[in-house]
Chains A and B, each alone.
Chain A
Amino acid sequence: MHELSVCQALIDQVARVAREQRAARVSVIHVSVGPLSGIEPQLLEQAYPLAAAGSLAEDADLCIESAPIRVYCDQCDKESTATASRLVCADCGNWRTTLVSGDELLLTHVELFREQAHV
């Protein structure tokens, strides 16, 4: 669905980093996509070759990491693991929790080959 739009935004950002770093090509793109980001990693992978075609990242591997969903409960002063549709404290059932991880949609780092310096 909207994964192609997200992928195009990703390629634009990678291209910007590659230009700043004077890269000849990009070899690996690392992203962090949480289950609550609204982005499906598998669809992002499928959209990637379409969005990357003709860019410096055309042959790059896309490496998607996913952080677990975790919430903090201030009644228990504890963190616990949760699911996308139940973000309540695993200990006391309190629903007024704060999300600690799981909604990431980040470009974390890029591996690239720089142009050879002219001596």
Chain B
Amino acid sequence: MCDTCGCNVTHGNRHLIAPGGKLSKIENGADAVSVLTGLLSENDHMAAHNREHFDRHGVLALNLMSSPGSGKTSLLESSLATLGKRFRIAVIEGDLETENDAKRIRAHGVDAIQIVTGTACHLDAHMVHKALHELNLDDIDILFIENVGNLVCPASFDLGQHRNITLLSVPEGDDKPSKYPVMFRAADLVLLTKVDLLPVLDDFSTQRAYDNVRALANPAPVIEFSSKQEERLADWVDWVDQQVEEHRQRRDQGETLRPKVQPDGMALHGLSL
């Protein structure tokens, strides 16, 4: 067996699989060609390009993912005034239909680009790239990308973001991380939203939600938030501040920030973008 990769190709038999060799043909006469690339490598390539673009212009890109209606737009609406004092902000909105969310953001005097995906259940790196042409990145410090409301598909597509934020609104139930492990494993921050409803939701346990995130081997902070309670704003804003600072430090070293789940996965398979 080969010492490098565990395949069965050795010095002794390599000539057999070389072009024209006895074993280079499968029984039916076909040739086997090894590829070993990520299935979404074209998307990942575009995402890497987007990330370089963000880094060059000093923009921190944050990807917001959740079920429909768990409060992504409300989160932004309630924090734009505070974050807007120190940072120049823009928003990319992804929805199957309507310009409603972009209008809500623009009402706060913030630039918002609406991506209408039609039937697509997620944003991909190409859609985001196209939207970037409508923004002047030199005028932006933080770009929020509000993904299509969906706890499944958006988790599979890298957009070039620096961090993933997954929202879990308390009416959805504390077992959502266990039911949607791919999504919650990808989170760099889990925001429990609508916690002002906790007094009337006796079946939601914040401890269970926290334990279910940890069971996915995810060390991401879990922060409680409500757009109706101003005192809940501080923890979320502090987290954003930390990411801006971390991104600045990484860029000073000529590096970038990536959602924590991705480099592990890619490195495991010995792949690079």
CB distance from A76 to the nearest CB of B (A): 14
* Cβ A5 vs Cβ B35 within 8 A: no
CB distance from B91 to the nearest CB of A (A): 23
Q: Which 9 A-B pairs have the closest CB atoms?
A: A2-B153, A85-B178, A38-B182, A38-B156, A87-B217, A111-B30, A84-B181, A95-B214, A27-B30
Closest to B185 in A: A36
CB distance from A98 to the nearest CB of B (A): 7
If A6-B39, A108-B35 touch, whether A1 touches B153 (CB-CB below 8 Å) is yes
Residues on A with C-beta less than 8 A from B31 are: 21, 23, 111-114
A10-24 interface code vs B (CB 8 A; 1 in, 0 out): 101100010001010
A31 interfacial by beta-carbon distance below 8 Å: yes
**Residue count of chain A within 8 Å CB distance of chain B:** 43
Supply 12 further A-B pairs (C-beta < 8 A) apart from A85-B212, A95-B215, A110-B32: A6-B39, A9-B40, A17-B33, A36-B182, A86-B215, A87-B217, A88-B217, A96-B217, A98-B264, A101-B268, A103-B268, A113-B31
Identify 27 residue pairs between A and B in the complex whose beta-carbon atoms are under 8 Å apart, listed by A's number. A1-B121, A2-B122, A2-B157, A6-B39, A9-B40, A9-B43, A31-B39, A37-B156, A39-B39, A85-B178, A85-B179, A87-B216, A87-B217, A96-B219, A99-B264, A99-B265, A100-B268, A105-B38, A105-B156, A106-B37, A107-B36, A108-B36, A109-B35, A109-B36, A110-B33, A111-B31, A111-B33
* Cβ B124 vs Cβ A5 within 8 A: yes
* Residue positions of A touching B, CB distance < 8 A: 1-2, 5-6, 9-10, 12-13, 17, 21, 23, 27-28, 31, 36-39, 71, 84-88, 95-101, 103-114
CB distance from B112 to the nearest CB of A (A): 24
* Cβ B33 vs Cβ A88 within 8 A: no
CB distance from A101 to the nearest CB of B (A): 8
| B-side interface size class | 35 or more
* Residue positions of B touching A, CB distance < 8 A: 26, 28-43, 120-122, 124, 150, 152-153, 155-157, 177-179, 181-183, 185, 212, 214-217, 219, 264-265, 268-269
